[in-house]
Structure 1
Amino acid sequence: MDVFGSVAELYETARPGYPPEIAAAIVDHHGGRPASVAEIGAGTGKGTEVLAAIGAPLTCIEPDPRMAALLARRFPSATVHAGTFEQWPPPAGGVDVLACAMAWHWLDPATRNTRARRALAPDGTLAIFGHRYDYADAAQREAVTAVLHAVDPDVRERPVDWFEQDVFDSGEFTDVRKEVIRRDLPLSGDQYLALVGTFGPFLSRTPQQQRAGLEALGRLVDDFGGTIVLNLRTTLVLGRAGQS
């Protein structure tokens, strides 16, 4: 997950936040305000903004020291654990809510659900949420996809809402449910290219591929009049830990 540390400040300014109603949905699923909340892979605090609104003591787990430092400055009342989820020792009895925003795919698929359940208090709530970046205009979607595949033919996307199926298939949680929130997000060329510059697949490519991709996307945005309109699909998946 430390691939993002080099662009921590850009990540904070370029990435869109989460709908505030996620906090109320978590509290409702939990059956009231939880006594404690922990967040996996908190980054610079995009998901933390929502979780802090719950009003419970908050622990943020972030392995990249540069992102953890920015996170601690933004949320001085939170406890920041600068390490991985696997290195984090849950409190005795577990936490009431364990959340993860756009970081579930960085955890070990073989152990993440079991480890999450064990970190939760009995009847605790798992809350995983994240954005899916689509395009409001089908022509923009097709053009962007063509550019990205021209730069790197191996570009692939995970299935929509894949983490819902991951949690359900694990058998570790009951009362698994999903909520989806959509909104259109217009971005200028600079805003769009800044956002692309924070994506993990982009950061994992060679400098030459990154440069070629940004140049091609910049020309594309110009062709569309200087604006890209994202259709932002935000999915929240909730589950309940059984009695241990």
Structure 2
Amino acid sequence: MTGVFGDVADLYDDARPDYPSALADLIRDYHGGTPATVTEIGAGTGKGTAVLLRLGTPVTCVEPDPRMTARLTATFPQIHPVTDTFERWQPPTGGVPLLACALAWHWLDPATRNPRAHDALTPGGTLAVFGHEYGYADPEHARAVDTTLRGVDPTATRRRTDWFHQDITDSGLFTDVRAHTLHRDLTLTTDGYLRLLRTFGPYRQRTAAQQTRAATAMRTLVDGFGGSVVLRLRTTLVLARRPHRP
């Protein structure tokens, strides 16, 4: 994922919605108290970091893009940054008590992300993976957006809503896998929606011509909705534990 978001780090931080603060309480309760430390994978500009700092413990943030790390440390100077990929990062001897990942699990190597997370944790340690799914309050709007984006790129696909819950469960490496879901609505103007669109990975990975076509088409569409759209954010938190046994 290195380089996908770095050139829009400021926009990413401004346009992406924050996570509910309640996630911190859910993580703490599952872990059984405040962990000694937290390590976050793919921290970006710190949307997930803000939640993890509410645990009141030292946070190490692993982020491969130095431009994202610069924005992260400007906002949260108290964190310990590590500019590296999860695949190259070496956990401390004995592992970490809590490993977290906010909306970056899909950027990790699917063949190794679960084994690496398992091995990075102390026995009995907690894995916390969370992220938003961006839906629409109006089903007609959802269908119109999907049709419009497929018109720009017919190969575009969507992940299943619970995909990382299933991914972690299917690995067979963790016990006591639980999922929590929170919902909220977010109203965005046309300009606000287009700012958010510009931070999405699928948009950023398309050609410049496709990006221009998508932005033009979506501006016309949201203007046609009356100049705003209501996003229905589904925030999912998946918690899992490394078994105590070897």
TM-score norm. by structure 2 comes to 0.98
Structure 1 counterpart SS, 2:5 = helix
Moved more, 69-78 or 9-18: 69-78
In structure 2, how many angstroms separate the alpha carbons of the residues matched to 1:151 and 1:109?
27
Deviations for 1:135-171, whole angstroms, at most 9, x for unmatched residues? 0001110111111011100110011110000000001
Structure 2 counterpart SS, 1:205 = coil
Aligned residue runs from structure 1 range 2-151, under 5 A: 2=2, 3-151=4-152
2:183 alignment counterpart: 182
Task: List gaps (5 residues or longer) in structure 1.
Answer: none
Paired amino acid for 1:121: T
1:222 alignment counterpart: 223
In structure 2, how many angstroms separate the alpha carbons of the residues matched to 1:7 and 1:115?
29
> Aligned-pair distance for 1:73?
1.2
Aligned residue runs from structure 1 range 148-187, under 5 A: 148-187=149-188
Paired amino acid for 1:154: T
> Aligned-pair distance for 1:38?
0.3
Paired amino acid for 2:6: G
In structure 2, how many angstroms separate the alpha carbons of the residues matched to 1:107 and 1:126?
15
Paired amino acid for 2:173: E
In structure 2, how many angstroms separate the alpha carbons of the residues matched to 1:122 and 1:28?
18
Question: RMSD of the TM alignment (CA)?
Answer: 0.7
Aligned pairs, number: 244
Paired amino acid for 2:98: V
Deviations for 1:42-81, whole angstroms, at most 9, x for unmatched residues? 0000000000110111000000110011111111111000
In structure 2, how many angstroms separate the alpha carbons of the residues matched to 1:86 and 1:166?
18
Paired amino acid for 1:9: D
> Aligned-pair distance for 1:94?
1.1
> Aligned-pair distance for 1:195?
0.4
Deviations for 1:4-45, whole angstroms, at most 9, x for unmatched residues? 111101000000010100000000000001001000000000
Fraction of identical pairs, as percent: 58
In structure 2, how many angstroms separate the alpha carbons of the residues matched to 1:161 and 1:214?
28
Establish whether residue 212 from structure 1 lines up as the match of residue 213 from structure 2.
Answer: yes
In structure 2, how many angstroms separate the alpha carbons of the residues matched to 1:15 and 1:119?
29
> Aligned-pair distance for 1:117?
0.9
Paired amino acid for 2:146: T
Paired amino acid for 1:59: T
2:202 alignment counterpart: 201
In structure 2, how many angstroms separate the alpha carbons of the residues matched to 1:152 and 1:35?
46
TM-score norm. by structure 1 comes to 0.99
Structure 2 counterpart SS, 1:98 = strand
In structure 1, how many angstroms separate the alpha carbons of the residues matched to 2:89 and 2:232?
35
> Aligned-pair distance for 1:122?
1.2
In structure 1, how many angstroms separate the alpha carbons of the residues matched to 2:94 and 2:76?
25
